[in-house]
Amino acid sequence: MPFGYHNKVLRVDLGTSQVTQESPGDNFYRTYLGGWGLIAHYLLREVPRGIDALSPQNLLIFAPGIATGVPVGGSGRHAVGAKSPLTGGFGESDVGGFWGAEFRHAGWDALIISGAADHPVYLWIQDDRVEIRDAAHLWGKTTADVEERLRRDLGDDHVRVAQCGLAGEKLSRIACVIHDINRAAGRTGLGAVMGSKKLKAVAVRGTGRVDVTDAGGLQKLAKWLAQEGMTGWTADLRENGTNGGLAGLNATGGLPTRNFQQGAFEGASRIAGDTMTQTILVGRDNCFACPVHCKRRVQCTGRYAVSPTYGGPEYETIGSLGSCCGIDDLEAIAFGNQLCNAYGLDTISTGVSIAWAMECFERGLLTPQDTDGLELRFGNAEAMLALVERIAHRQGLGDLLAEGSLRAARAIGRGTERYAVQVKGQELPMHEPRLKFGLGLGYTTSPTGADHMHNIHDTSYAGEGSSIADMRSLGILDPIAADDLGPEKVRLVKYGVDWQVMGNCLGLCAFMPYTMQQVCDLVRAVTGWNSSIFELMKTGERALAMARAYNYREGLRPSDDAAHWRFATPFESGPTEGVRVPEQTMRQAIDWYYGMNSWDLETGVSTEGKLHELGLGWLVELMKKEP
């Protein structure tokens, strides 16, 4: 019998109402692990070239990894993927919570949804029982209302729900897939794909488990995490959540402020992690089997009614709806987070798109006539909240912003495109490339557009510590300054990105303090394979190569690996005054990165020899068939 996977992939065609299953075989799971790798495999093999991402021909894929749902901290994650409506290329986003574990406990390894229904539906998966049910009564409802209604209708408070939200129903290209009401597969616009299929939700209940080969080994790792791993950054995650790092980023000039015009925010102390802990925090929450409890639950009863049902803002949300918009009102930001979770909007793209509109307004490129009369100035919390509502409902300027800042800028013109801070159409996360040069290289070359969750954070490798200690096993022996972008830093980016992509295949949280060897031990304990760090690194490299090949097939080229001009412009004030990433420095780093990955300079795709080295001979043949 297999360990770590069920050898069962569930397929649902919403156009024909056909439900089937397939068994890919042992080698499939060892080759891809799940997650990103599985998504790339199916998109390349089955999605026709050049389709509209919102057409029924797109696939929507929910893909746990072999770690998802096993009893150890960090195993509550899974990936969602499709052709991206936002970038037109490879779409993949990762999410925590409990849905992925529940789906695995129901006996499945992945869910592939094709076609489109002619009316709103939801899927009900109860172990081996799979039904397509009418969802007319759920359409247009908030995420909390949908989950409450489904649990009541199904008679089980333990049902886990993934849903597209109102924004996905309205095909917003910055819509996400919300799980458990307050966990978002946020990036690349996948909620719109779900909405285009008229699929309101996927409700899951599983009564089984994931069989593992060495339960004792996993227990040992879980014990280590609980007793020895809860120190340093992990301890701060528990105390102050992901927002615990905001004050440090601000002090070092790495907090995106006013649409990335500055790297420090004068109101940072009012929105910092410890401020949230001391004021509006009412509880801490965790994902499946995780002792860290980094999730926040907040409540406000003043000007803004904020319910802990919708959790609380993560760092990315505090940055995007807060400092990036020049807003230091923590309760307003918490309410903005609640609106995004209730409607199914990616808080990063939402906040950065609003910040773009604010900068354009202040520069006179947008007028009150363009903004429906809103005074879109940095610091205007009421205008920010009004725009979140209008984006979700596609009203006025919000209808344009629902397309993402790049498409909105191209529609408006007047030089506004210059201020849309994005890569490949996806807005940048809340980490400043002028503080972390390698991170900027990762943004620029990411196949999904700018993303921080398959990237490195240079400051972790700038001194002695666990991060650089881990990299020594790969031959990077000395710390490297955060503002270095020489060949050794580029090598660090390559190894770091490959490893992070592998984690997105495995279904393992990037916040866990596990060493590379411990991750390898986890894979061995789950599957019984004689896995090595080398094999796992190759899994990440393979998944990245497939995503790059998919992008080339969909029309993206090396010219799309372009850094935003703002990061070659020096800061005019703050702790990083005068700091910039020179355009030629980034261009050289991209060339080195291409070389280290064996990516062709003309296509951006791995060379034929590299694809064979990665065990992707089938992709070589597939690419030869493409015009």
User: Could you write out the DSSP letters of every residue in 119-171?
Assistant: S-EEEEEETTEEEEEE-TTTTT--HHHHHHHHHHHHT-TT-EEEE-HHHHHTT
Which domains can be identified in the chain, with CATH numbers? 9-205 (3.60.9.10), 247-427 (1.10.569.10), 437-625 (1.10.599.10)
Q: Are 60 and 194 in contact (CB under 8 A)?
A: yes
- Average pLDDT of every residue of the chain: 97
Specify which residues 64 forms β-bridges with: 78
Position 627 scores a pLDDT of 60
Residue in this structure with the two tokens 């923590």, named with its chain if needed: 330
Query: Quick one: residue 434, left, alpha or beta (phi over 0 = left, psi -120 to 50 = alpha)?
Result: alpha
Return the amino acid letter for 224: W
Sequence-separated (6 or more) residues with CB below 8 Å from residue 107: 6, 8, 127, 128, 206, 208
Q: Work out the angle at residue 34's Cα, subtended by the Cα atoms of residues 472 and 169, and round it to the nearest 5 degrees.
A: 120
Position 466 scores a pLDDT of 82
Residue in this structure with the two tokens 């539906």, named with its chain if needed: 121
pTM to 2 decimal places: 0.98
Position 380 scores a pLDDT of 98
Sequence-separated (6 or more) residues with CB below 8 Å from residue 613: none
What are the CA-CA distances from residue 90 to residues 46, 93, 279, 352 (Å)? 13, 10, 40, 21
Return the amino acid letter for 157: D
Position 624 scores a pLDDT of 85
Q: How many residues are given for the chain? A: 627
Residue 383 CA to residue 619 CA, distance in Å, equals 48
Position 478 scores a pLDDT of 95
**What share of the chain has pLDDT > 70, as a percent?**
100
Q: Which ranges of the chain have pLDDT less than 50?
A: none
Residue 214 CA to residue 555 CA, distance in Å, equals 45
pLDDT tens string 302-349? 999 999 999 999 999 999 999 999 999 999 999 999 999 999 999 999
